[in-house]
Structure 1
Amino acid sequence: MATRWGICGAGRISHDFTVALKTLPAGDHQVVAVAARKLEGAQEFAKKHSISRAYGSYEELARDPDIDVVYIGVIHPYHLSTCLLFTNAKKNVLCEKPLAMNSREVQEILDSAKKNDVFLMEAVWTRFFPASVEIRRLLAQGELGEVKMVRAEFGLPLMHIPRSSQKELGAGTMLDLGIYCLQFICMVYNREKPECIQATGTCQETGVDESVIVTLKFSNNRLAVFTSSSAMALPNSAIIVGTKGTIQIPDHMWCPTTLDVNGKVTQYPLPEPYLPLNCIKSTGMRYEAEEVRQCLLKGLKESAVMSHSDSVLLAGLEDEIRKQVGVVYSQDSK
């Protein structure tokens, strides 16, 4: 029986996620309904993607009895209220990253999911790519020996987009781009909390971070460093350095389809989309969608690959980095 999806939000990322779902077997994944703040937007989205139901409010989607899981693709200042709406309606949830604006909000969402006995996962899609699965396998088998250094960078010129400069829209490179580097480091170091974090950055006049450089020190003198920027294009690569070799993601580290392991390069191609995408390689969201399906089939309330504790760790590190760079959102004072 197909996993029946509801799409919350009719924007660019929801479009890409819906396109990605269509690359999976129709007998496994079905989009039943879409909801937007305006009915016209939902109807336009539904027509484009051949979805039978369109709602002009999120509440209507929450009341739909035929939805197994809701994908939340709204901007992150609204993640808390939207997640709570669906978890309190006993709906399983896959919510775009970052799960929330800070640790307090993340904990509130997780508490609600637990209270209502529903599945919830932060949509850190990178973790589910075949290349990421291979990285974890290589590390678990000790192919690199002891990892000593991890480096990652993610920078794109996004300052022309209001969502990247306006604080009330949740702007800031840490929550938008840096989170990908940070989750990668946390994955490589097996969810260990760093002993020390040093962050520096530049902020816009609006008070949001434009570029950040972060150094993290882990136990046994293991290090990590990442750079993220919403103002400039970076090489967007990542490297893991161990005592026995290296793993490199040469580009697009947030959606990896190429791995270089000690000089041996392997490609992990993605299926072609049936409609044009807004973001590069977005059909790769199919892997996180299939993870959700497998978890639901097993009756799990969280994914072992991107667990609740992973989201708590990420949020705590994001809070500390923002604090050091001097970025404060209105949600931080509640």
Structure 2
Amino acid sequence: MKDFNVGIIGTGLIASVMAETLNGLKDKNVKNYAVASRTLAKAEIFADKYGIEKAYGSYIELIQDKDIDLIYIAVPHSEHYRVAKLCIENKKNVLCEKPFTVNADETKDLLALAKENKVLITEAIWTRYMPSRKLINDVIASGIIGQVHSIQANLGYPLKDVKRMISPELAGGALLDVGVYTVNFALMVFGNDLKDIFAKAVMSDKGVDLTDSITLTWNDGKMAVLHASMMTPTDRSGFIYGEKGYICVTNINNPEAIKVYDIEHNLIKEVEIPKQVTGYEYEVLSSQKAINQNELECEEMPHKETIFVMEILDKIRNQWNMKYPFEK
């Protein structure tokens, strides 16, 4: 079977995790084939570290490599649209880190362009592809906690000293980096029939959100109360509350445990989560499968879902009057 060659654009922390992941997928014919940075020196250091065959000193050189099957984009949020567009224009399949773009207009433009060029593009929000997503929904569907009514979820890391997080020009802030996971967590459980969105934020002196409080309500009366922060670590837990008990998910960003409690708070069930390379492998394998089947999107994160999430993030930022300097 022919190797499935992946090229990585970017050499930061997330790119490093993807490189480790690809090296762990050799039995799937997935090859950690190429990496690009803005300087050749950085790309070569990264390539040496992870055993990558080719290193490029510009993004366009990697994009134009005819042997690449999929390009993984791991650059700052503000660059997602530009780099993904370059990939599409060169007929390259794209796995783009979350947030897919900075706003819904950019998202719709990219998706339309990808369809026109007949290439796959999908958002690398890993929680959408993980087996844990189905495991959680299977517990709910079993009826063990009864009718579900509400969700609480939080995600926070001490990131206030990370340049891309605090810079408006790089589309910084907690919402697009960590808040997006809390929103996706709620949507994966309750669906998209939203009624209202209410959000508040503590803003930095540069105009990006530091700590967020987001409340979503659904037309059937369900509610999610979400917290995100770039100032402090949080316990990263997600709770799904039903009339007969509740589910506790440890680390909504990469579920480590799924525990079910009854109405008296007794632990009554624990769901085993499959072992994984890093958790990034699921989005790569889904992309590989879709490409092999000539699909233009992945079933785990269809384009309509990516647009819907981005529209929610836009509405939240609008409530804060938060606009990035490069936005129209």
TM range (shorter): over 0.9
| 1:320 pairs with 2:298 | no
Q: Name the structure 2 match of 1:255.
A: 254
Residues matched between the structures, number: 321
Q: Name the structure 2 match of 1:34.
A: 35
2:169–2:326 contact (8 Å) kept in structure 1: no
Q: Name the structure 2 match of 1:158.
A: 159
Q: SS of the counterpart of 1:51?
A: coil
Q: Name the structure 2 match of 1:122.
A: 123
2:98–2:125 contact (8 Å) kept in structure 1: yes
Q: Could you tell me how far 1:52 is from its partner in structure 2?
A: 1.3
The letter of the residue matching 2:154 is E
Q: SS of the counterpart of 1:195?
A: strand
Q: SS of the counterpart of 1:6?
A: strand
Counterpart selection for 2:285 from 266, 276, 290: 290
Q: Could you tell me how far 1:234 is from its partner in structure 2?
A: 1.6
| 1:53 pairs with 2:58 | no
Unpaired runs of at least 5, structure 1:
273-282
Task: Supply the distance in 2 between the matched residues of 1:101 and 1:271 (Cα, whole angstroms).
Answer: 30
Q: Could you tell me how far 1:266 is from its partner in structure 2?
A: 3.0
The letter of the residue matching 2:256 is T
Q: Percent identity?
A: 34
1:5–1:33 contact (8 Å) kept in structure 2: yes
Q: Name the structure 2 match of 1:147.
A: 148
Shift in alpha-carbon separation, 1:244–1:309, aligned structure 2, 3 A: farther
Q: Could you tell me how far 1:27 is from its partner in structure 2?
A: 4.4
2:158–2:232 contact (8 Å) kept in structure 1: yes
Q: Name the structure 2 match of 1:15.
A: 16
Task: Supply the distance in 2 between the matched residues of 1:109 and 1:186 (Cα, whole angstroms).
Answer: 23
Q: SS of the counterpart of 2:305?
A: helix
Task: Supply the distance in 1 between the matched residues of 2:76 and 2:302 (Cα, whole angstroms).
Answer: 21
Q: Which structure is richer in relative contact order (CA contacts within 8 A, separation 6 or more)?
A: 1
Which stretch shifts more, 23-32 or 156-165?
Answer: 23-32
1:42–1:54 contact (8 Å) kept in structure 2: yes
The letter of the residue matching 2:153 is A
- CA RMSD in angstroms, aligned pairs only: 1.6
Q: Name the structure 2 match of 1:280.
A: none
Which stretch shifts more, 314-323 or 291-300?
Answer: 291-300
Unpaired runs of at least 5, structure 2:
262-266
Task: Supply the distance in 1 between the matched residues of 2:231 and 2:284 (Cα, whole angstroms).
Answer: 31
Q: Could you tell me how far 1:254 is from its partner in structure 2?
A: 0.6
Task: Supply the distance in 2 between the matched residues of 1:17 and 1:304 (Cα, whole angstroms).
Answer: 21
1:193–1:313 contact (8 Å) kept in structure 2: no
| 1:179 pairs with 2:174 | no
Q: SS of the counterpart of 2:235?
A: coil
Give the 5 Å matches for 1:260-271.
Answer: 260-262=259-261, 263=267, 264-268=269-273, 270-271=275-276
Q: SS of the counterpart of 2:134?
A: helix
Q: Name the structure 1 match of 2:68.
A: 67
Q: Could you tell me how far 1:133 is from its partner in structure 2?
A: 2.5
Q: Name the structure 2 match of 1:311.
A: 306
Q: Could you tell me the TM-score, scaled by structure 1's length?
A: 0.92
Give the 5 Å matches for 1:196-207.
Answer: 196-207=196-207
Shift in alpha-carbon separation, 1:184–1:229, aligned structure 2, 3 A: same
- String of CA shifts for 1:5-43, please: whole Å, max 9, x gaps: 011112211111110122223442102211111111111
Task: Supply the distance in 2 between the matched residues of 1:141 and 1:28 (Cα, whole angstroms).
Answer: 37
Q: Could you tell me how far 1:142 is from its partner in structure 2?
A: 5.0
